[in-house]
Amino acid sequence: MATDGFLIFENVTKRFGAHAAVDGVSVGVQKGEVFSLLGPSGCGKTTLLRIAAGLETPDEGRVWLDGEDITDLPPERRRVNTVFQNYALFPHLTVAENIAFGPRAAGWPRARIREEVDRMLALVQLTDQAGKKPRMLSGGQKQRVAIARALINQPRVLLLDEPLAALDLKLRQRMLVELDLIHDEVGITFVYVTHDQGEAMGLSDRIAVMNRGRIEQIGRPAEIYEAPRTGFVAAFIGDTNFLEGRVEEHLGDNYCRLGVEGFPDIECFNDTGRPPGEPVCLSVRPEKIRISRERPEPAPHVNVVPARVADAIYLGTHTRFWVRVGRHRVAVWQPHARFLLDERPIRWGDEVWISWHGDDGFMLERFSGADAALVATPPERIGAANGGVAP
Amino acid sequence: MTADHLRREEWAVTLPSLGWLLALFAAPTLLVFAVSFRPADPYGGIGAGWTLATLREMARTPLGPVIARTVRLSALTTAICLALAIPCGTCLARVAPRRQAVLLLLVVVPFWTSFLIRVFAWRMLLHPEGPLKRVLVTVGLADPHTQLLYSEPAVLLVMVYTFLPFAILPIYAAAEKFDLALLEAARDLGAGPWGAFVKVFLPGIGRGVLTATLMVLIPALGSYVIPDLVGGPGQDMLGNRIAQRAFSDRNLPQASALSAALTLAALAPMALAALVQRRPPALEAAARKEAA
């Protein structure tokens, strides 16, 4: 085992016809953590989850659970349980009977089943719904039955396949908190599949961002957001500006000078040792960029660029600006930490200065056009790197 | 749009079929019941006045063995049809759409040939000089003196053949609507393949199975052409007795009384099915108590 962890995927590949849904994935999930598989639809995250559940057999690679090779075990003999995307509750059974399904299959004594079902009903706050059939429940209640039905078997790992996707926004936010509480209470390992970066960021200890059957990056939510390692991750998680350019020269102290058409020289952190002349894609998050009427005092490693405001959307907590620098459009989010009405707000057409620290820029490989379709906010909507010139 | 408005529209839509049922099903059935209480007329008609003579006559006839055979053959036919139709219907629901159309056509194709002709075809197949017998003898599965035709197994075989499509179609319809993720959920929760089939799939297609049972059992109870053509002299069913009373004896009240008895017997399983489908709250409460 090259990777360590409680639930380990070792070089797992699954093909459907010629298409590799999961392509040589190796990842170790630690005991007790909430581990998210995050990616656009078709990235292979659900297939990977189904491989863990035993509902798909990998073409290559092994799956380990607590040191035991479970690759060839049928689903009923794995100590993992799944919360399915559409809950898959048994329509002919009541809530209590649904929850009791696993223990009955396992042949628990009746008294223990009754006791545990009651405990689970209390945990998910459905004691008064015990005798109802699933079709009489609301979406959120069904969801909680599905969780209780899985948890009662005391799985080593709980697999959740987009468990909130079928709920409306308000309910989704509430269930997210409840899921977090349930995890704190039962303390078992969660593997959580989602395409929603907000869910993943809010719930997870670690996130694996997947794209085209491969894992692009694994890390804590803040690591993934603050230090994306690929263009795909930068664009899929949150919003960002992409600026195409090339490395001009190294400045020492791990910094380098970038040339981007229409911009003055840009300083950027360069810990990956990209050589001068290499084409790069600079990613800067809109909330890392400051905007002001007056030119900021020069400071080491801070980039200061003159711009003109092309658009401004006031959102209460912050204002979203789109400013033009040469032929580029750059998104800038200005938070409003103080009473705004005393100030003179920046408006459309104003000449402004934008600035960001060299540490807040990331040099990534060029973002491929095919991936652009997969991410929530394609880069051409934000930056100008792919030709998003303001009219 | 109010609920009342909707209901009135529903009535308008339902009325024609309701009228059709009343005129062509309920009225004749009641007529048959009524004729049972009229005297027979020597010319094969119905006499004047009312009498219980027919019922007394029927009570004197030893119908026991015929009824036992009718119920046995019908129940066996239903059981075998279900046993074949559940896997067939399930597979039909799972194959690719193009192949599904072809297979469904194959299930329905026998209806394009007259029922009588198909039963006569079975007579040819089962004939002592027929191909089936010859094959069985050549292979060594039957000795040359075995009687295939005019036996109870022959009646059963042809009944299963006849009624099988009526079992396959409702089960196919139910299996097609069944959500396969439920089977995955059952496996995930620790049930083996067989456990998932029995505890989740069968209840899931329960309505289809119920419909199939009724679609086979009720016509099977009334069948008379099959035992008449491929059964021996000792294999007649209630249907044969009715035909005999009506066509040979020309005693319509007797035929009616037997028919009425058969109708009541066929209604019994339907009433039972209706009861099962609309489980009263008491049963549901009991189920809940059991689950908790």
ipTM attached to this prediction: 0.79
In angstroms, the Cα distances linking A16 to A28, A42, B74, B76 are: 24, 12, 47, 44
Instruction: For an interface test with B, give the residue of A76, A84, A118, A132 to mutate (most B CBs within 10 A).
Output: A76
Q: What is the mean pLDDT of residues B242-253?
A: 88
Residue ranges of the domains in chain B? 64-238
Which residues in chain A touch residue B181, judged by CB atoms under 8 angstroms apart?
84, 86, 88
Secondary-structure class of domain A233-385 per CATH: mainly beta
Q: B190 and A97: CB-CB below 8 Å?
A: no
Residue ranges of the domains in chain A? 7-226, 233-385
Which residues in chain B touch residue A93, judged by CB atoms under 8 angstroms apart?
291
- Phi/psi for A122 (5° steps) reads -70, -40
Q: pLDDT-derived band of residue A380, with 50, 70 and 90 as boundaries?
A: very low
**For all residues of chain A together, what is the average pLDDT?**
87
Q: What is the pLDDT of residue A191?
A: 95
Which residues in chain B touch residue A91, judged by CB atoms under 8 angstroms apart?
182, 204
Picking from A292-301, A373-382, B86-95, B152-161, which range would have the lowest pLDDT averaged per residue? Answer: A373-382
Q: Rounded to whole angstroms, how far apart are CA atoms A91 and A134?
A: 6
Which residues fall within 8 angstroms of residue A159, CB to CB, at 6 or more apart? A49, A52, A53, A80, A81, A82, A83, A191, A193
**Paired residues of A25 in beta bridges:** A12
Answer left, alpha or beta for residue A254, where phi above 0 means left and psi between -120 and 50 means alpha.
Answer: left
Q: What is the pLDDT of residue A2?
A: 52
Question: Does A218 contact B at CB distance below 8 Å?
Answer: no
| Total CB pairs under 8 A between chain A and B | 84
User: Would you state the structure tokens that stand for residue A379, as one six-digit string?
Assistant: 């880069």
Q: What is the mean pLDDT of residues B30-55?
A: 86
Task: Look up tokens 């060839």; give the residue.
Answer: A72
Q: What is the 3-state secondary structure (H, E, C) of A92-126?
A: CCCHHHHHHHHHHHHCCCHHHHHHHHHHHHHHCCC
Q: pLDDT-derived band of residue B193, with 50, 70 and 90 as boundaries?
A: very high
Q: Is the pLDDT confidence value at A299 over 90?
A: no
Q: Nearest CA of chain B to the CA of A212: how many Å?
A: 25
Q: CA neighbours within 13 Å on the CB side: how many for A195?
A: 13
**Secondary structure class of A354 (helix, strand, coil):** strand
Task: Look up tokens 């394609």; give the residue.
Answer: A378
CATH architecture entry for A7-226 = 3-Layer(aba) Sandwich (3.40)
Q: A88 and B181: CB-CB below 8 Å?
A: yes
Q: Nearest CA of chain A to the CA of B195: how many Å?
A: 8
Which one of B181, B184, B288 has the shortest CB-CB distance to A130? B288
Q: Rounded to whole angstroms, how far apart are CA atoms B83 and B79?
A: 6
Q: What is the pLDDT of residue A383?
A: 43
Residue-wise pLDDT tens digits, A238-252: 888 888 888 888 887
Which residues in chain A touch residue B182, judged by CB atoms under 8 angstroms apart?
88, 90-91
Residue-wise pLDDT tens digits, A361-378: 888 876 665 555 555 444
Q: Rounded to whole angstroms, how far apart are CA atoms A33 and A375?
A: 26
Which residues in chain A touch residue B285, judged by CB atoms under 8 angstroms apart?
131
**∠B266-B204-B94 over CA atoms, to 5°?**
105
Instruction: For an interface test with B, give the residue of A78, A81, A83, A92 to mutate (most B CBs within 10 A).
Output: A92
B64-238 has which CATH code? 1.10.3720.10
CA A339: distance to chain centroid?
A: 33
Q: Rounded to whole angstroms, how far apart are CA atoms A364 and A282?
A: 6
Question: Does A122 contact B at CB distance below 8 Å?
Answer: no
User: Would you state the structure tokens that stand for residue B225, as one six-digit string?
Assistant: 């052409």
Among A67-76, A238-247, B136-145, name the most confident range: A67-76
Q: What is the mean pLDDT of residues B157-164?
A: 95
Question: Does A54 contact B at CB distance below 8 Å?
Answer: yes
User: Would you state the structure tokens that stand for residue A374, as one six-digit string?
Assistant: 């997969």
Q: Between these two residues, A194 and A171, which has the higher pLDDT value?
A: A194
Interface of B with A in 199-258 (CB under 8 A): 199-200, 203-204, 206
**Paired residues of A28 in beta bridges:** A8
Q: Between these two residues, A308 and B49, which has the higher pLDDT value?
A: A308
Which residues in chain B touch residue A150, judged by CB atoms under 8 angstroms apart?
188-189
Element (H, E) at B214: helix B206-221
Question: Does A53 contact B at CB distance below 8 Å?
Answer: yes
Answer left, alpha or beta for residue B81, where phi above 0 means left and psi between -120 and 50 means alpha.
Answer: alpha
Q: Rounded to whole angstroms, how far apart are CA atoms A385 and A246?
A: 12
Q: Rounded to whole angstroms, how far apart are CA atoms A25 and A287?
A: 33
Q: What is the pLDDT of residue B264?
A: 86
